Structure 1
């Protein structure tokens, strides 16, 4: 099973509060074009140039995001690193003047790191040296989920199969607090439907009751094959709990003819559950 995330190309947008000569805009556009696409809901920073000045260093960077909505950044902590990953400077910036970014856009900006923000002897920093930029943030994540199997699942899975599901849950990547995650782990195609087993994980602090589960199914070409909302009754999932559920996608509602299911993936459609 392959689960390749969809990626997004950002559009560059220049702030009206920063008068940038046309020649420099072309340079930023060039650097932006070289950047890899982002996965969904990602915030990224790419360092363009580093200059040494009397008061410290100035770093020019491009901030971009792949959220499906506008983004306003209040404050960020940025870290400058050399190519070996050694931290050279760190500072918290007020981003009020940076302004608001439209969905899936990128914007260049200058950042001044003063002498007190420098973490190494100043002579280690060379004008226009190669460097990397990163956000420093400590998002709280949930990694330990308890698998809950109701009687139907306990009776329907033998001991080895239950062990497989337990092991799967224990090896899944952590997810952010206050998020819901779905992972497909079994796929079966019949003449008239595709049946998928998924694991739902709840990283909220409270028990959730899910009445409708909106799912998108993609094939090996990463084409959307089907988009359905599954009414699943009063499906309760406790905090830090993982529960399996089976879903059936009728081929009558497929949006693509003859999809290639040599690999596949599913996504939760963002909305209120």
Structure 2
């Protein structure tokens, strides 16, 4: 896609969002005096781009109109949004800005389009390394294409919108222990659970998944299935009720039931361990092979 088929208007319909570089890069300025300094960023055009004088004029006009940043910040400055009529995708025109005193190359991060009330209109992961290295104290124009499947509200905002970093998406997936588990488990078992979730495959953004890690037949013949409730969304999820089935090593249904969870919360980007007890009368197979098993929401 030729990004310079866009950026034809000198008007700006979006707002700016800013984060300290530490939030995205785990490194940043520690000198509080320097942190208060204002930095004016300059337009950065990749030498690989061929643009017309008219396009360069528009970009310089927009760039010169951007407000200064404080030292050691990264910013997204929303310019305009064009909708593709055929696909319904949004092409979000924006400047990625850096007030760092050194070049910076960013990686994958989820970006969000927010309305005036900070409601998420669209959210999608982008690999910012595709923009190349951003020079010190500079800003670079880019088109962030949000696919239709990642757009929550199909109405394109024409004003008062913001393109923002989802800093939470950069936080490592963590263990979310319910207080009852924290109080009951010894430290070594908590550590074992933490290590276990680091070994699980990464989830795609905004996915909820159930992954089993321990299943046993109890003395009274019930099935106790311990699972991770895995939340790759950027916000916590409240579970009031969940249907669940257990399959054995051969893929046969061992048990099936529905459980009330009393508004159980699973934090954003985390895995919460939980145990579901299937009474004996719910079990369909005698002596099931649980050497390998699956917990899932029934289709």
Q: Between Structure 1 and Structure 2, which shows a larger proportion of strand residues?
A: 1
TM-score, with length taken from structure 2: 0.41
If you compute each CA radius of gyration, which structure gives the higher value, 1 or 2?
2
